[in-house]
Structure 1
Amino acid sequence: MVKDQIGMKVILHIGAHRTGTTSFQAYVRQNSDFMRTRRIGFWGPMRTRKGLFAGIQPDAGVSLKAARHARGRVMLQVNKTERSGIKTLVVSDENMLGTMRRNMRSRSLYGDVGERMARYAAAFDGQIDTVVLSIRALNHYWSSAAAYCVARGHTLLEPDQLVRVAFGPRTWRDVIADVACAVPGAKIVIVPFERTAGRPDAMFQGVTGLYGPRNASQTWLNRSPSVPELRGMLADRGEDPDLITGMAPRWTPFDTAAIAAMREAYMDDIHWLTAGADGLATLTEELDQRGAGQTLPHGPLTRGQGYDDQERRLAEPG
């Protein structure tokens, strides 16, 4: 039996976590009229996590029958979306990539992403046109993920575990290669977070190739808690607040040698991407800088909670 071919372009924006995904999703929702006039559909976590993707992953003993039902449910909605006149469907959910908690437990970067993305490729019946992955300097990613997890009650990593994280062999290059192998018919697009921090309109361009509206283009959400905030959270839970150290506003659990190693590993990934990524992925070269530019503008940019304070340039080794 020959499967039906859809004419609608399907784009998966799979994260990663701590790279502005929440801000991007809020930006898209705030610009629904813009999306509608350009026939761009959007599925975000408010839809994907309410049963649409249930059964795709083998968590909690999900059966093959449940996976088949999930594929049928997803394709039913894909076809329904196309019949409504949508020409491009953007599906944005960072949990497609994996979870931060699993990363912290394994001390490694999305080790099961290949299996996960193969299951999503099957659920979309091989109709995925593009997969967009946003990456971030490893020292900033792991520090932000650690703060996020601590704020939600998870145990701090021990010093030897932090060493394993910082000097582990797995980097974004491995994640990208796994995604490319899992979704072989799709174009893999890589967007460095340093080019889009606090700029969901720039991320919109990276995902769709289109210039997005400037309104709400500087919405920063889901900010990592500061050092004083983390200390207060530990104290409220009856834990030792002195476990959170440092004078900088943003907490980093890593020492200078670990930070240098992660920066160097990230720059190696960027150089690999710049050189063509062995044909596996495309690095976004230019993103419109109509808003913040290369350095963050002065004054408050937040709506609700701000996102992480970030360097706007790529981290340098050492």
Structure 2
Amino acid sequence: MDVILHLGVHRTATTSFQNWMLANSGILSRQGVAFWGPERTRAGLFSGLIKRADLVSAQDILSARRSTTRIRMEIDRIEDQGFHTLIISEENLIGSIPHCLSYGMLYPDARGRLERVAMVLGPHLTGVAMGIRRYDAWWASMLAVERVRGGEAATPQRLRMLAQNGRGWPCVIDAVEGAFGVRPQVWTHEAMAGRHEILLRRLAPKLSLTPGLTVAVERANAAAAVQGQLGRGYMPFSIMQRGQMTARYQAELETLRRGRRDLAIMETGGAAPGGYSAMPLTEEGWVDDQQNRGRQASGMG
């Protein structure tokens, strides 16, 4: 059984991909592919595992042990049913939107969170994947989520801190690799958002997908509320800040491509990654920020 873990991340069309996988679950299952999205991971299966590392309690440890048993039994069960590939997609495993915003940096405790997941999936895990996104667009999207949830508008000081923060995607990628001992597959949101079938083929290259995969029907989400409150294409950063953040993103991508030839950066078609001058008019996957798809009140943070 090949187990592939898709970590998201938030605000990179993760929910759009999850919806597409669910919409095609019947076709995929007939080809030996099982899928666990938030409907499974937040319905108790990963209880005790989706939480800040510094807030893990004795009860969380006990819950995680029980989850480990359930997860491994479930993997064995679906393997016995003839499935050869399991794709797990859960963006909250790497961190949460409030935690990133409160610390003003990308997934500050990613490694601690993921090391706990690695202990569960380690015997089966064959691949880890994640998306990354241009900094100005990603932080603007995160701030928009905070505003919709009732947060205050970002101050100039906070925007300056986010624009200048030194923890970038290379640090997060290193944390993922350190936790799992597996080099993650990485793609850019700018190039891969919405290209679900291409993404699936890259995630699981052994698959021989048959024709008939459908386009996912988008679920009701919070996009209308965001656009109503903040306007379309919400962007709080100044032109100068956006330029600095985009230049840094492009430079990091180039460094990753040249300096980490063992790291696969998935890109295909479209404009050059990082080359978009404005936010998209419609944000993908707003529903993934509602955190209510089977979520339990405890164990999340």
TM-score, normalising length: structure 2? 0.81
Matches within 5 A, 1:162-241: 162-184=159-181, 186-209=182-205, 215-217=213-215, 222=221, 224=223, 229-231=228-230
Higher relative contact order (CA 8 A, sep 6+): 2
| Mapped contact 1:151–1:225 kept (Cα < 8 A) | no
Q: Kindly indicate whether residue 267 of structure 2 is the aligned counterpart of residue 270 of structure 1.
A: no
Partner of 1:138: 135
Corresponding residue number in structure 2 for 1:96: 93
**How big is each residue's C-alpha offset from its partner over 1:104-157, in whole Å with a ceiling of 9 and x where there is no partner?**
111100111111111110121442110010111111111111112211222222
1:115 and 2:112 matched? yes
- Report what 1:49 is aligned to: 42
**Residues 188-227 of structure 1: CA deviation (Å, up to 9, x unaligned):** 1001111222332233233223567575447666574587
Structure 1: state its 5+ residue gaps: 1-7, 232-243, 296-305, 310-318
* Aligned mates of 1:252, 1:220 — CA distance in 2: 24
The CA distance in 1 between the partners of 2:244 and 2:143, in whole Å, is 17
**Do structure 1's residue 25 and structure 2's residue 18 form an aligned pair?**
yes
The Cα shift of 1:77 comes to 1.4
Q: CA shift at 1:54, angstroms? A: 0.7
How do 1:241-280 residues align onto structure 2 when only pairs under 5 Å count?
Answer: 249-277=232-260, 279=262
Unaligned ranges ≥5, structure 2: 273-281, 286-301
- Asked if the contact 2:11–2:138 (Cα under 8 Å) also holds between the matched residues in 1, the reply is yes
CA distance in 1, matches of 2:266, 2:198: 11
CA distance in 1, matches of 2:113, 2:193: 27
Q: SS at 1:275's partner residue?
A: helix
Contact 1:20 1:200 in 2 (8 A): no
Q: Distance in 1 between matches of 2:127 and 2:257?
A: 19
Query: What percentage of residue pairs aligned between the two structures are identical?
Result: 29
CA contact (8 A) 1:227 1:250 kept: no
My pick for the range that moved more, 187-196 or 207-216, is 207-216
1:278/1:119 CA distance change after superposition, 3 Å: farther
1:220 & 1:250 partners in 2: Cα distance?
A: 20
CA–CA separation in structure 1 for the residues paired with 2:18 and 2:91: 10
Which protein has the larger Cα radius of gyration, Structure 1 or Structure 2? 1
Counterpart AA for 1:201: E
Cα distance change of structure 1 residues 266 and 87 upon mapping to structure 2, 3 Å threshold: same
3-state SS, counterpart of residue 254 of structure 1: coil
CA contact (8 A) 2:19 2:218 kept: no
> What's the TM-score once normalised by structure 1's chain length?
0.77
Q: Does the 8 Å contact 1:198/1:220 carry over to 2? A: no
Matches of 1:213 and 1:16 in 2, distance apart?
28
The C-alpha deviation readout for 1:152-189, integer Å capped at 9, x for no partner, is 222222211111111100111000001001100x3410
What letter is aligned with 2:256?
A: L
User: What secondary structure, in the 3-state scheme, does the structure 2 residue paired with 1:148 have?
Assistant: helix
Paired with 1:79 and 1:217, the residues of 2 have a C-alpha distance of 30
